[in-house]
Structure 1
Amino acid sequence: MARSPGLSVRLKLTLSYAGLVILVGGLLLAVVWVFLLRYVPEVAARTPGPFSPGREDLVRAFAPRAAWAMVILVAVGLLGGWLLAGRMLAPLSRLTDATRLAAKGSLSHRVNLPGRQDEFRELADSFDTMLARLESHVAEQRRFAANASHELRTPLAISQTLLDVAHHDPDRDTEELIERLRAVNTRAIDLTEALLVLSRADQRSFTREPVDLSLIAEEAVESLLPLAESRGITLETSADSAPAHGSPALLLQLTTNLLHNAIVHNLPEHGTVQVSTTSGEGHGILTVENSGERLSP
């Protein structure tokens, strides 16, 4: 929102300091007048002995010096107020610079205002905390977008494979195709929810529950079976009961990713993929192997 230009805070504080100095100087002159000069006779007394000046004599002698004193007070008040206001507002300038950097997208910048705790330091610390939370939320959104673009390719590839098979084989059972597409669509919805959970995993909003890895493996194999058939890959399973604790959606996505990579990075023809689950001491073990070349980690 555009605003009309006005006086800076530093100038306002400077004028306030100078005004306070002038007010104090004026009060001192008033005190001199009220409690000293008013009791002096207006005319000098002509008596034998030392000369006794009158009020007019004192005013003529005092007024020029008082005027110069006020001028000096005004100059000192303006200069001192300008320097003092600049020193006082220096932390605010750092906050303003940090705010402008944040507005340009640099959320990694921090004020890190040194010194003992006061109102400006408290504001700077609160601003740094806000920037840290914003940076975390932005990173979470970017991570979710990256994961979604990567992970959603698998169910989309499966759907494309099912549709291609149906296109080249018109006599294929339509009900089976519909059921498989429904299962892939359901899995895509579960995957989206799993990605949301994964994006918040660093906030410990991760819900663990008992799962059987053998059932997870069987579901992943069933969903990727059309893709394996289209590439001439044979899927072999040896699923023993393998109890574990974790998120079913995330474990399913992990297994599907491993199985998908084993299918894609395999022999061009007549390749095999072995999927097995076993139980260890208090945990389950999932193993995915293929007949392709060894890949570097």
Structure 2
Amino acid sequence: MRAVLVCLTCLISLAACSDSDGSEDSSTVDASAATSTLTGTPEDDFAFDEVDNTITIAGGDALSPTNNTSISVPASFVVYSDDMDGILAIRGVTASGDGEVAIYSDGSAALTGAFGARLEDTAVPTAGRVVYDGDYVGILRDTGTGDITHTVTGVAQLVAYFGDGNISGNISIRRASELDGTATRPLNTLLLDSTALADGAFAGTTGGGGFTTSAAGAEDGAYSGLIVGSNGDELVGNININHTTNGIVTGQEVGGIIAAE
């Protein structure tokens, strides 16, 4: 049974191709009404200081861009860490600067979150088909030990049918890398099931995405996102799934997508 873990209240760079029906119809969505939280309570726990380029989690010490060169992410994302206490945050911004996505964790369930936001008004198309292609970055934590064990990267593609009001996609070429860079492991493609798209916002369920070993798996999870950019030509999104070993939940993955047409 699919379980949607999504709460739409407040939320990664992709190059995409467009296949429109020629219509330029659009509907403007105000930025102030366009945020979404997939998991966690970022409105209480997450703060980004644009001047100092730091992130604060739950009022703790400010996290700066990490010096750990073993953690590799696409250029549209920046990794923030204290490099000592095991707190990790990753923030991404679209090329236009009109959308952002962030994920963070200290290894505990209470301080693991994923969210994104539309920072400027967006003229969301009301007709046509747009393919958004781009990058995915995630954080994987061990639910038993409370340790952050891996970062995850992948290639994301979402297809929006604005006239029909739905969106779907997948994240492929998924790799989990240990934080010290010593080893990487492949993961299966994560399917983003078709879901409703309204006012440039969406939330749905996921399938697959677990490690490729025989005992590994993943429960059906959740994704959410927003169409952003002045002409609706960009997308930000989040992922939240539980990984299993022999049917027992052993890990949680939270991630972010940044995409563009």
Q: Report the TM-score when normalising by structure 1.
A: 0.22
Structure showing greater relative contact order (alpha-carbon pairs closer than 8 Å, 6 or more residues apart): 2
Determine which structure has the larger helix proportion and give its number: 1
Based on CA coordinates, which of the two structures has the bigger radius of gyration? Answer: 1
Q: Report the TM-score when normalising by structure 2.
A: 0.23
